[in-house]
Amino acid sequence: GAVVSQHPSRVICKSGTSVKIECRSLDFQATTMFWYRQFPKKSLMLMATSNEGSKATYEQGVEKDKFLINHASLTLSTLTVTSAHPEDSSFYICSAAKTSGFAGELFFGEGSRLTVL
């Protein structure tokens, strides 16, 4: 099956610092990647849709200046949490589809657990 790699899997940082999370599709090209965050015992909440070569589309309530998304190539999207605060602590996870159609399976990265002290 397709592989999506996410890095780092775990990061602890001080309040006020920025953290970058990478999402790579290892064996396929993904024109679209999705970024989510998940709180304990809650559903995955879509943060933004990342399209290669264009600006990300953010969901309502997600600050685009806070969560910077860059999709510079067909195999790499990055999420940067800027000036992180304790309330940004969460599980961030990306997914990518091999095909652009609606029936395409989504492949998920392993997730990145961010803890902001």
- Rounded to a whole number of angstroms, the minimum distance from the CB of residue 14 to another protein is 24
One character per residue 50-89, x = contact with another protein (rule: CB under 8 A): -x-----x--------------------------------
Among 25, 92, 111, 116, binds another protein (CB under 8 A): 111
Instruction: Find the binding residues for another protein in span 89-108 (CB under 8 A).
Output: 91, 93, 95, 97, 100-106, 108
7 vs 23: CA distance, rounded Å: 7
Which range, of 22-30, 44-52, 63-71, 74-82, touches another protein by CB under 8 A?
A: 44-52
The closest of 19, 9, 7, 8 to 85, measured between CA atoms, is 19
Interface with another protein, residue 27, by CB under 8 A? no
Residue 58, CA distances (Å) to 5, 16, 17, 37 in order:
22, 22, 22, 13
Q: Are 37 and 92 in contact (CB under 8 A)?
A: yes
